[in-house]
Amino acid sequence: MSSTTRRDLESGGANKNYNNISYSAAPTSYVYDPEVHWTSWLVPLFVAVNVVVFVVAMYLNDCPRKNLGFEGECVASLTKMGALRWDDVVNHHQAWRLVTCIWLHAGVVHLAANMLSLVFIGIRLEQQFGFVRIGIIYLLSGFGGSVLSSLFIRNNISVGASGALFGLLGAMLSELITNWSIYTNKAAALFTLLFIIVINLAIGMLPHVDNFAHIGGFLTGFLLGFILLLRPQFGWLEQRRPPAGVRLKSKYKAYQYVLWIVSAILLIVGLSIALVMLFRGENGYDHCHWCHYLTCVPTSKWKCNDN
């Protein structure tokens, strides 16, 4: 398949447009056009799948009134449909739960909050970078969140797309960092994004919220952003066919290559170590005694359950 065909498929048929770069008639002439976007269809599809799965869960539960909040009571049905549970993953070799759990939700509020966040975050990212890269980040971040969650939470089930959503937030942060030189008002954008991330992670410290899935998804997406969301530097985009003997500028800056390599190594090594620890039955708290504060901070208003 030619490179042009691949671009057309990923952009949903947008002819000769690739990641906000408009190709002119000359094959070596590039003009940066921030108004060109991919067609977003994968994120709406993800939303539709989540809603359909939730409707099926409601039907199987036959108890819609029990699914109106974060604490859905039909645990048996969620477990049967693929909720994340340490015993099933490790002792019953059901590793597929690390992926299926991100399509399940505990209630209407849980579903609505996650899907609204996915629409606001995911559609913009897919328009800018295409469905392939955003789909990879979403799915791998959800997987990474499930792995970290399983390392620490053994006695409860876990469901929800929050890990994947935090992965998109992490990718937004790393994308801003790795493409720092091409942005304006970048300090304000960085502060705003960090504020949103910190607030959401802080909410994860409330009871009954799986913040380990959030953290695992965020870290996975953060590293993937350095790998998948690079933008070419302006010097490369603006260059025309150079005279003989004139050296072309590099497509990416040196620090972008460094971040790409370091992130790829950290991602592969980190996921490999986490998976080995998980399937060996190791408990994350044995290696991090204070980590329980990352998912729940006890106060006079509530107590934290033993995970």
Domain-embedded: residue 211? yes
**CA dist., res. 124 & res. 291, Å (int):** 33
CB of 88 closer than 8 Å to CB of 101: no
Q: Which pLDDT score is estimated for 130?
A: 94
Instruction: Flag whether 285 is in a domain.
Output: yes
In a domain, 2, yes or no: no
- Number of folded domains that form the chain: 1
Q: What is the pLDDT along the chain (307 residues), one digit of tens a residue?
A: 444 433 333 333 333 333 333 323 333 333 344 445 788 999 999 999 999 999 888 887 765 555 444 444 577 788 889 999 999 999 999 999 999 999 999 888 889 999 999 999 999 999 999 999 999 999 999 999 999 999 999 988 999 999 999 999 999 999 999 998 888 888 898 999 999 999 989 888 888 889 999 999 999 999 999 999 998 877 666 665 655 556 667 788 899 999 999 999 999 999 999 999 999 999 999 999 888 888 888 877 777 765 5
pLDDT for 70 equals 40
Q: Is 250 labeled as catalytic in the residue annotation?
A: no
- Whether residue 102 lies inside any domain: the answer is yes
Q: What is the pLDDT of residue 245?
A: 59
pTM (2 decimals)? 0.82
Alpha carbon distances (Å) from 258 to 25, 167, 227, 265: 33, 21, 10, 11
Phi first, then psi: give them for residue 16, nearest 5 degrees.
60, 25
Report the CATH number that the domain containing residue 262 is assigned in CATH.
Answer: 1.20.1540.10
Active-site residue (options: 162, 208, 263, 272): 162
> Do 306 and 155 form a contact (C-beta atoms < 8 A)?
yes
Catalytic residue among 214, 250, 263, 300: 214
- pLDDT value for 76: 79
SS3 23: strand
Cα 190 from Cα 14, distance rounded (Å): 31
214 carries an active-site annotation: yes
Any idea what the Cα angle at residue 9 is, between residues 126 and 35, rounded to 5°? 45
Would residue 182 count as lying in a domain? yes
Q: In terms of residue numbers, what domain contains 45?
A: 40-294
Q: What is the pLDDT of residue 205?
A: 84
* pLDDT at res. 306: 53
Residue 28 falls inside a structural domain: no
Distance CA 28, CA 213 (A): 44
**What's the number of CA atoms in the CB half-sphere (13 Å) around residue 279?**
11
